[in-house]
Amino acid sequence: MTRTAVVTGGGTGIGRAIAETLVEQGLNVTITGRRKEVLEETATAIGARAVAFDAADPAAVEGALTELPDRVDVLVNNAGGNAARRRPPVADGDLAGVRELWLAQYEQNVISAVLVTTALTPRLADDGRVILFGSIAGTRGSGGYGAAKAAVHNMAADLAARLGSRRITVNAVAPGLVEDTEFFGGTLTQERREWLISQAFNGRAATPGDVAATVAFLASPSAGHITGQVIHVNGGALLAR
Ligand SMILES: NC(=O)c1ccc[n+]([C@@H]2O[C@H](COP(=O)([O-])OP(=O)(O)OC[C@H]3O[C@@H](n4cnc5c(N)ncnc54)[C@H](OP(=O)(O)O)[C@@H]3O)[C@@H](O)[C@H]2O)c1
């Protein structure tokens, strides 16, 4: 039977590379995201199906269920981002602004994954695979974004324990700097980029393909004994000295 995959945030960047890799491996792939046009363009280019909805909105997730596959072998909760990269900095002492930013970061990275996973859990095949998206920031820290990604790492442990009896594995993939995605929205300075790259032992950023290859392995039948883990993909940058 053809295995099915749902990749949230599959229209761009890392999610697109994951979806493309899984299609190449013969899976029937559905990509999701908020922007319908972006999704449809990617879906056509890579041979996937597109279903547009906001993963952080419970009503939208519920509404999308009729269009999502009845059986899900692989769920990749890749949708996420850092709202701080999309808005002006919060002014010193603006507590309401801090609250709003941290909630937005939590909603986009944690709530999106919780809602989609909860909605699709009854459809997960025994021996299924759930991949969550953490970050090096979830371990090293980076304001509300890092805190949200740390929560995602924590989710992997809990979900893995709860779904283990069905032989479903749950892992979080935690990339370091990945280029050629929309993540930074043009806000990464050359100085910061060079510093981030200097932290990696191999002296380079990741490509979306580096992360997709890791996800494809975790999604494969051969990865059945790896669960509840945070898998770092960062050229060693987490250990930088
Ligand atoms: N790039 C990096 O250096 C890096 C490092 C560590 C971790 N990550 C993580 O890797 C994942 C993928 O990021 P990326 O670098 O590929 O950036 P990206 O190109 O901006 O991809 C993020 C995708 O998520 C979708 N998305 C965001 N919020 C959503 C929501 N509420 N509902 C549905 N879809 C949503 C976006 O599509 P729409 O805008 O159309 O919804 C977009 O396609 C994210 O979780 C990110 O935090 C990235």
* CATH number reported for the structural domain that contains residue 132 in this entry: 3.40.50.720
| Helical spans, DSSP H, in 47-163 | 58-64, 95-106, 112-120, 137-140, 143-163
Pick the catalytic residue from 53, 133, 145, 183.
145
User: What pLDDT score does 241 carry?
Assistant: 86
Amino acid letter, 163: L
Contacts of 27 (CB under 8 A, 6+ apart): 2, 3, 4, 5, 73, 74
Domain assignment of residue 134, given as a range: 4-239
Identify the bridge partners of residue 8 per DSSP, sorted by sequence position.
32
Query: Ligand 1: which residue has its CA nearest to atom 15?
Result: 183
Identify whether 145 is a catalytic site residue: yes
Query: Ligand 1: which residue has its CA nearest to atom 2?
Result: 178
Phi, psi of 45 (to 5 degrees): -65, -35
Query: Ligand 1: which residue has its CA nearest to atom 1?
Result: 178
1 CA from centroid of ligand 1 (Å)? 30
The binding-site residues of ligand 1, defined as CB within 6 angstroms of any ligand atom, are: 8-9, 11-15, 33-35, 38, 54-56, 78-81, 108, 112, 133, 135, 175, 177-178, 181-183
Contacts of 122 (CB under 8 A, 6+ apart): none
Reported in sequence order, the residue ranges of the chain that DSSP labels E, i.e. its strands, are 4-8, 28-33, 49-52, 72-77, 124-133, 169-175, 230-233
Domain count along the chain: 1
Handedness of CA 179, 181, 184, 186 (dihedral sign): positive
b/e for 78-104, b at 16 or more Cβ within 10 A? Answer: bbbbbbbeeeeebeeeeeeeeeebbeb
Ligand 1 atom closest to Cα of residue 35 = 40
Residues of the chain with pLDDT below 50 are none
Q: Look-up: residue for tokens 């919060």?
A: 90
Query: Ligand 1: which residue has its CA nearest to atom 7?
Result: 135
Q: Report the Cα–Cα distance between both ends of the chain, in Å, rounded.
A: 48
User: What pLDDT score does 116 carry?
Assistant: 98
Q: Taking a C-beta distance cutoff of 8 angstroms, is the pair 115, 61 a contact?
A: yes
Q: Probe ligand 1: pick from 6, 7, 8, 14, max atoms within 8 Å of CB?
A: 14
CB-based burial label for 37 (10 Å; 0-12, 13-18, 19+): exposed
Pairing of strands 230-233, 28-33: unpaired
